[in-house]
């Protein structure tokens, strides 16, 4: 058979395939439907629990049973996504109204994961059963084939409450995300009722009912004035603060700060990070008034306690927590949902309007089906009532018929052929019978006890009840106000039964302005080991461990906690290092690489000296390079705001080998690789700017460079070994700068 080749651009195929994939992820996995507020995995899990009969008033069933059944029938995307959604729907600290009643370890607000699905059990919550699944048997929503077309599943659940707002949603699709905060059930229902009563209400007017998000963790929304814009556009940022209280410590004049509510964004690992951040603040002396921190949270709620020192300023500590930790955080709102089979960013009005439209659609289908059912019932009841009046004739027809079909035909068409009657009158009356097919079937199936007087009375009462229902359903279907009243009554029932007090406070708070108190400077000692790890310790700690500190560290510098240090390197750079940035701790702490504390790069340069700017500001420094250039620079030139400055100018191939304060009384000695030595006095060294190259300190022959330099001052060594010979440096002849010096022979 000949094959047909279709030529097309590769880019077009990729574009179409990617768009198809993206829409599949968006619509079928990641985003909730605006009608029931559920993602497909949530909807399928709840429906499967409904099918399994795991109702709120029945025993719990193993989560593994639910997950396995859902995966096998409806959601073939792995058990982790199904169990993950089941867990979230059972967590009251994530959901405004939990949809699943979990039994066992379903995780904690502090980030502890749920137990394995083989250990936990679950069942539907009462709200889910009544507000999401109650009308599934009334054919109010469409059912579609599952992935292998062996089962049917609802395209959407007949949700009676605006779940998209009540429980919110978070999801990451392809190229888009949704982030909808949870809201208060009572407020949202009030807004729906108001919009049903008056469809002209604007977003701003609806916000008289929906004040803002209502997070399960409570907290305070502090930018209330921006909420109107957020709810109008569907996007924006909500700023949330934790709730903080100040308590007096019993039998003490100290106080404690107690955090009783946290931002919604801190759920999980955020609490542990918060505790670590507070501990770091306490150690950094910004929060030195914090004596201790403990997490006393339990099932009853959040309780994080910060013990304060005597005389602490609790208001300052509160501001510090809000500014330096996630106790004040931002929730990004993007109210994206699937509406009319496509993703849309919706406003508050859009979501409520879509919910109301869905409710009227559900109610129309429900009451049309109920009306059809009652009309069918009315038809049968009328047939039975009529049959009671001519019961003797019907019995005669039944006794005279050869089979069921003959009797049925007579009841429907009046055909008496083949039927034996006692009298001609009975036959004539039988020919007048005209029951419907349904009525004839009901008559033939009617039992004799239905002929008892009380049963006949009950049939008449039932018929009257049916007529009332038909009138009611007809009125609901034909009048908007009647259907609206029914929907409103249902909403009011859910509100009265399930609504709770608002947990999140909505207000406009001033921006936190933290006037950081400058910590009082204290003496400390900088220690840097041979690997370049630096830390500072208290002077008393250093004195206690002086011998070990001097032996184990390549650098020991006394400074103040607010000092600035200057790191000179062989590339001619000077990096400014703030002592307050260096971790302060115990003597045996490892410290932090100096590379991480300033612009110094240990891979590209070698540090020569670290000096306290406070000390060298009033001194002069001598710089000497490998090519023999020397100069003197005022230390104040390095007192700059930049993090890195040039300390000297270097020609190509040259490098800085020494930086030293210019307080040597007996001069300095330069020794080269070729064993040339030159001793000059300090007044021979010219004073230049830090950007100058310097002048010749020693004139070098070809392929020679300065290898060592010694400064002859009190306490400094006066002897060294050159070519195996001990040389007394203070006995070398003093010469002029810029000369070749003296050869030191073996």
Point out the residues that are catalytic.
Answer: 119
Tokens matching residue 279: 């501990």
Dihedrals phi, psi of 652, to nearest 5 degrees? -60, 130
State the Cα–Cα distance between residues 183 and 200, nearest whole angstrom: 22
3-state helix, strand, coil in the chain (%, to 5): 40, 25, 40
Tokens matching residue 252: 């003490």
State the Cα–Cα distance between residues 272 and 261, nearest whole angstrom: 15
Tokens matching residue 359: 């409710």
CA atoms within 13 A on the CB side of 75: 27
- Name every residue whose Cβ is closer than 8 Å to that of residue 355 and which is 6 or more positions away in sequence: 34, 35, 162, 164, 192
Beta-bridge partner residues of 257: 246, 306
- Name every residue whose Cβ is closer than 8 Å to that of residue 541 and which is 6 or more positions away in sequence: 525, 586, 587
State the Cα–Cα distance between residues 718 and 711, nearest whole angstrom: 9
Antiparallel, parallel or unpaired: β 607-612 and 695-696: unpaired
Tokens matching residue 437: 């097919």
How crowded is residue 2: how many other Cβ atoms within 10 Å of its Cβ?
Answer: 3
Residue pair 563/611 in contact (Cβ under 8 Å)? The answer is no
Q: If you search the block for the tokens 């998209």, which residue do you land on? A: 164
Burial tier of 467 (Cβ tally within 10 Å: 0-12, 13-18, 19+): middle
How far is the first Cα of the chain from the last one, in angstroms, to the nearest whole number?
99
Count of positions (residues) in the chain: 746
Beta-bridge partner residues of 644: 575
């Amino acid at each position: 058979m000949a094959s047909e080749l279709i030529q097309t651009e590769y880019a077009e195929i990729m574009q179409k395939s990617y768009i198809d994939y993206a829409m599949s992820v968006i619509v079928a996995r990641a985003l909730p439907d605006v009608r029931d507020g559920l993602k497909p995995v949530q909807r399928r899990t709840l429906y499967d629990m409904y099918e399994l009969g795991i109702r709120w008033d029945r025993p719990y069933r193993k989560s593994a049973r639910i997950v396995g059944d859902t995966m096998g029938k409806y959601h073939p995307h792995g058990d982790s996504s199904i169990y993950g959604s089941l867990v979230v729907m059972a967590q009251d600290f994530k959901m405004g109204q939990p949809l699943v009643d979990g039994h066992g370890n379903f995780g904690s607000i502090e980030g502890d994961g749920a137990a394995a699905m083989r250990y936990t059990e679950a069942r539907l919550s009462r709200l889910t059963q009544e507000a999401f699944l109650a009308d599934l048997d009334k054919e109010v929503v469409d059912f579609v084939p599952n992935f292998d077309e062996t089962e049917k599943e609802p395209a959407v659940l007949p949700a009676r409450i605006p779940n998209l707002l009540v429980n919110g949603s978070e999801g990451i699709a392809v190229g888009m995300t949704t982030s909808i905060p949870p809201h208060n059930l009572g407020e949202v229902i009030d807004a729906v009722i108001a919009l049903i009563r008056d469809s002209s209400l604007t977003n701003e007017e609806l916000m008289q009912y929906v004040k803002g998000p209502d997070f399960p963790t409570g907290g305070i929304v502090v930018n209330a004035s921006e909420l109107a814009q957020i709810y109008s556009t569907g996007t924006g940022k909500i700023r949330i603060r934790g709730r903080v209280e100040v308590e007096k410590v019993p039998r003490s004049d100290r106080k404690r700060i107690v955090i009783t509510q946290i931002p919604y964004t801190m759920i999980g690992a955020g609490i542990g990070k918060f505790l670590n951040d507070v501990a770091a603040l306490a150690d950094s002396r910004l929060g030195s008034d914090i004596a201790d921190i403990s997490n006393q949270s339990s099932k009853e709620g959040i309780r994080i306690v910060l013990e304060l020192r005597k005389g602490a300023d609790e208001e300052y500590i509160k501001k510090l927590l809000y500014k330096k930790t996630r106790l004040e955080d931002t929730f990004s709102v993007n109210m994206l949902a699937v509406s009319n089979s496509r993703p849309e960013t919706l406003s508050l009005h859009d979501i409520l309007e879509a919910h109301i439209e869905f409710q009227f659609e559900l109610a129309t289908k429900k009451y049309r089906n109920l009306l059809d059912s009652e009309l069918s019932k009315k038809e049968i009841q009328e047939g039975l009532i009529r049959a009671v009046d001519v019961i003797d004739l019907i019995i005669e027809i039944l006794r005279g018929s050869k089979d069921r079909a003959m009797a049925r035909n007579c009841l429907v068409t009046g055909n008496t052929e083949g039927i034996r009657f006692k009298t001609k009158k009975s036959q004539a009356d039988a020919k007048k019978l005209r029951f419907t097919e349904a009525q004839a079937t009901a008559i033939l199936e009617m039992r004799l006890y239905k002929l008892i007087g009380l049963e006949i009375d009950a049939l008449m009462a039932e018929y009257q009840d049916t007529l009332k229902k038909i009138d009611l359903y007809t009125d609901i279907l034909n009048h908007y106000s009647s259907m609206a009243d029914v929907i409103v009554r249902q909403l009011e029932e859910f509100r009265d039964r399930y609504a709770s007090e608002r947990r999140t406070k909505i207000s406009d708070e001033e921006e936190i302005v933290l006037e950081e108190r400058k910590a009082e400077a204290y003496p400390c000692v900088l220690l840097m080991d041979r690997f370049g790890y630096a830390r500072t310790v208290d002077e008393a700690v250093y004195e206690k461990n002086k011998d070990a500190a001097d032996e184990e560290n390549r650098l020991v510098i006394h400074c103040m906690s607010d000092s600035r240090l200057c790191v000179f390197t062989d590339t001619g750079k000077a990096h400014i290092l703030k002592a307050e940035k260096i971790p302060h701790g115990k003597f045996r702490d490892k410290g932090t690489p100096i590379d991480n504390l300033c612009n110094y790069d240990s891979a590209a340069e070698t540090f020569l000296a670290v000096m306290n700017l406070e000390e060298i500001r009033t001194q002069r420094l001598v710089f000497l390079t490998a090519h023999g250039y020397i100069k003197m620079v005022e230390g104040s030139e390095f007192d700059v705001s930049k993090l890195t400055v040039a300390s000297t100018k270097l020609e190509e191939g040259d490098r800085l080998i020494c930086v030293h304060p210019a307080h040597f009384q007996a001069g300095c000695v330069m020794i080269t690789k070729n064993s040339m030595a030159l001793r000059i006095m300090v007044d021979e060294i010219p004073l230049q700017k830090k950007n100058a190259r310097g002048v010749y300190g020693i004139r070098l022959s070809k392929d020679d460079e300065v290898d060592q330099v010694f400064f002859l001052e009190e306490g400094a060594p006066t002897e060294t070994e050159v070519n195996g010979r001990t040389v007394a440096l203070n006995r070398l002849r003093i010469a002029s700068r810029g000369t070749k010096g003296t050869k030191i022979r073996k």
